[in-house]
Amino acid sequence: MKQTTVSYDVCAALFVMTLIVSNIASVKLVSAGPAVFDAGTILFPLAYILGDVITEVYGFHKMRRLLIIGIGMLILTSLTFWIVGMLPAAADWTNQTAYDSILGVVWRIILASITAIFIGELFNSYVLAKLKIKYAGRYLWGRLIGSSGIGSLLDTTIFSVIAFAGTVSGSVLVQLIATVFAIKMLVEIVVSPITIAVIKRLKKVDDQDSYEQPDLLRYK
């Protein structure tokens, strides 16, 4: 079994950071012309890019283990913000309302985020690993975009439905899903040459190129 490398450690740290920061940033809605989306969408595609890199170089099971760790850190972050928000404020501290509006925990949003990230990223990694074996490592660009498309669509749809169903009209919900999905895929496609270059570099530097068979039920 290959030892963990510095490159993997950096990718893992960036992945967990992306989950936490994009979740916090998502409380702000951004308007760009007719499109409205949460600000976390700007950073979140990096999670899928890193997921692609880790799966392609280090394997599905390492990516799944990291995903579980990342979800755990996201839950811990949310619990910390919730507990801090519940603590009584000092008499001369007048920013409780500001704290609650930015870092206050809305458990429906947290549930939506955790569920969407876990299912979307898991299937992104699974499809990428499956296609790698099927095509013997060929067609990297197509595999990256195809797997990210499936994962991003699942992630965006699940999050939007759990978080906003019943609070907005069906047409607005569909528009939100379409806009966020389009942004994620656009970013994925635009940076794909960089993603491929990083993958090739890490395979060479770390002497790793995993071809393991992904298994959703078996934990390794």
Provide the pLDDT confidence category of residue 106 given band limits of 50, 70 and 90. Answer: confident
pLDDT over 70 at 1, yes or no:
no
| In the chain, where the domains are located | 6-85+97-206
Q: Return the HEC string of the chain.
A: CCCCCHHHHHHHHHHHHHHHHHHHHCCCEEEECCEEEEHHHHCCHHHHHHHHHHHHHHCHHHHHHHHHHHHHHHHHHHHHHHHHHHCCCCCCCCCHHHHHHHHCCCHHHHHHHHHHHHHHHHHHHHHHHHHHHHCCCCCHHHHHHHHHHHHHHHHHHHHHHHHHECCECHHHHHHHHHHHHHHHHHHHHHCHHHHHHHHHHHHHHHCCCCCCCCCCCCCC
Q: What is the pLDDT of residues 68-96, one digit of tens each?
A: 999 999 999 999 999 999 999 999 999 99
**pLDDT value, residue 101:** 83
pTM of the model: 0.88
Which range is most confident: 23-37, 49-63, 171-185? 49-63
* pLDDT cut 90: percent of the chain above it: 64
CATH number, domain 6-85+97-206? 1.10.1760
